Structure 1
């Protein structure tokens, strides 16, 4: 028996890998940051890949331990990623903007979230011309600083938009296991993975995805 789709009123979408093409930019920026700090990036990249979707400062704390070093690494990463954005390397995934506009036309509220710092998130939004596309965008610092896989950004979107009466009216969509975990932990009624980013279908399902989509472009049809 097919489970009916919940009455979704709030859609929380990840950015890099879900609505924004990643193209290895996170790894490039990390390698640039490691070089600046005189660290060997090769042995750290596996950890970076495994923790895609997590708050970047959290990842650097895991890698470098010392808070000062982690902050320095995070600053170098954000600067390197900003250089890539300024260089025109960021693009929307095919159909992403159209999907967001269709979800909005269906009467749903869309929120964009990221594991990047606010300055980087704003630079990406500006590069894409998305500053006014959705009513709310969130980074980890906007939700207490923990980021994914904690449910904080999802629950902050729920509280700040007041678009839904129940967490089961939330859909959480992303390309990483941590996106899925954050949705499950928030009690979202629909948790969906997309195959345009970091993790494959098995990893997404293992982390709690109830749906796995080829891309976010398929989401309006699923909800309709």
Structure 2
């Protein structure tokens, strides 16, 4: 048996590495997946072709705009025959900018993409889920919600807020059968990362308990669990997926 058979899911930012891993795992567990992408349209189409008829690409929506969040949720639900059982808020950005030199525009660009989109997409999806008697929402946060990094002040703050949004949303949407959680990944391997940041990869491997970086499918597995009936009593929770890096000694 598959964990998500018959479910309809919307994955935002599905053209990127983590989004692809999440979408693939949802499809492998039986879900029909709507793949939102803003710029990585070709990658999303290749992914949809790999999945087959249980996937559709919803390109172009700028999730910093509330109306476009509502539009992409409505498109996903329409494609799903009026249902939307799961939303994964994965779309996000992670620019590097030192805090003393950061402008308000720099700050807003990250907060609007990483946080405001989560608020607007969740609100729109919850309206559909409430009418059908429930559903699940999972935000992709980060270990940087708790562990600051230089040059990432705007990113860290946005992800910390995403975790708290899920906790608040879990309380307010719970009576309608809607569960809201977060997944906080550590460093996830991607193409050309070894060439771009070899020292960082080495330090991350040494910091983990299992001796490796994460894979997109590791994040996908966590999202599948939280969207499944196996997590029917789990809401308002932040599931850290970092290979044990957060469990290391601090002295």
The TM-score bracket by the shorter chain reads: 0.3 to 0.5
- TM-score, normalised via structure 2 length: 0.42
- TM-score, normalised via structure 1 length: 0.46
